[in-house]
Amino acid sequence: MTRAWLGLVLIAGVAQAQEGPASPIRKRTAYEDLQMFSQVLNQIRVNHPDSIDTHDLFMAAVRGMVHAADPHSYVLPATRLVPEKEAAMRAGKLYPVPIAFAFYGGSPVVVSVAPGSEAAKLDILPGDELVAVDSQPVQAESAEELDISLAGPKGSTTKLSLQRRRLDGSVVTVDRSAMRERAEETTAVPSAFMLHAQVGYIRLTTFANDKAADDLHAALGRLEGRGMTRLVLDLRDNGGGSVAEAARVAGEFLPAWAGRSGATRSVTRSWC
């Protein structure tokens, strides 16, 4: 069955290569692309040796489309969230686990732990991969979805199973019971560390803090002192804030004479 499926792929490739005149190359219309999408979907449904959920195929295509348009955007299916739980969390009735996660290669990885929180005492480290919650596999597909799924009553705990890679390359699984609490961040840079010998990582969570640029400047100095020549600046989940503070942050990387501008489809503004 596998060989038959591979044969189908090869035939489809040949057919694609032969269709249409060799030149000039005409830009395909949206209708033609949708028609091709429908044909491929139908071929998979009819000929694939395994039973495949059509919805999963559609969602994979949608995620690919959004990622191609903007690699920093993601799709959050409404059906995966519990509306009542999301609303309760937004209203402050549920408390989060004070650990920031980011998804790398589809897996949730610890980015930082809120300073001063109970979780900060648990030896949870940046780079730890979350593999299970309360002994169940992680179902979330984005950091926002994971935050909502982990939320619960104030002071309650949830068991996090984390995989950690040691210096010798081995992997160990550690279990930690993290308490749900709301920890206020006193710095705009809750996490700054070296990823590799010359690559640093800094997470900047807000521009609302009037010390955001100062916090960033201090973190850059510390990492440069450790040999950093390249930097990963993580702005995901940054809630925004003061344009003036954002311009000061940009000033850490841009020359003084460089203009800074922002735009939507209808408005363009510049800050110099």
pLDDT tens digits for range 144-159 = 788 888 999 999 999 9
Q: Report pLDDT for 239.
A: 61
How far is the C-alpha of 245 from the C-alpha of 155, rounded, in Å?
35
Q: Report pLDDT for 8.
A: 46
Residue spans in the chain of domains classed CATH 2.30.42.10: 80-179
What mean pLDDT, rounded, does the chain reach?
80
Q: Report pLDDT for 174.
A: 86
Q: Report pLDDT for 57.
A: 87
Q: Report pLDDT for 102.
A: 82
Q: Is the pLDDT of residue 16 over 80?
A: no
The one-letter amino acid code at 239 reads G
Q: Is the pLDDT of residue 167 over 80?
A: no
- Crossing angle of helices 2-18 and 30-47, in 10° steps, is 160
Give the CATH class of 80-179: mainly beta
Residue with the bigger pLDDT between 196 and 209: it is: 196
Nearest residue to 211 (alpha-carbon basis) of 234, 257, 239, 242: 242
Phi-psi region of 269 (alpha: psi -120 to 50; beta: other; left: phi over 0): beta
Q: Report pLDDT for 5.
A: 45
* Residue 207, phi then psi, degrees to nearest 5: -110, 0
Nearest residue to 142 (alpha-carbon basis) of 81, 191, 82, 195: 81
How far is the C-alpha of 149 from the C-alpha of 86, rounded, in Å?
9
Q: Report pLDDT for 269.
A: 52
pLDDT tens digits for range 46-86 = 888 888 888 888 888 988 898 888 876 767 665 555 677 77
Q: Is the pLDDT of residue 10 over 60?
A: no
Q: Is the pLDDT of residue 103 over 60?
A: yes
Q: Report pLDDT for 214.
A: 93
Number of other residues whose CB lies within 10 A of the CB of residue 117: 19
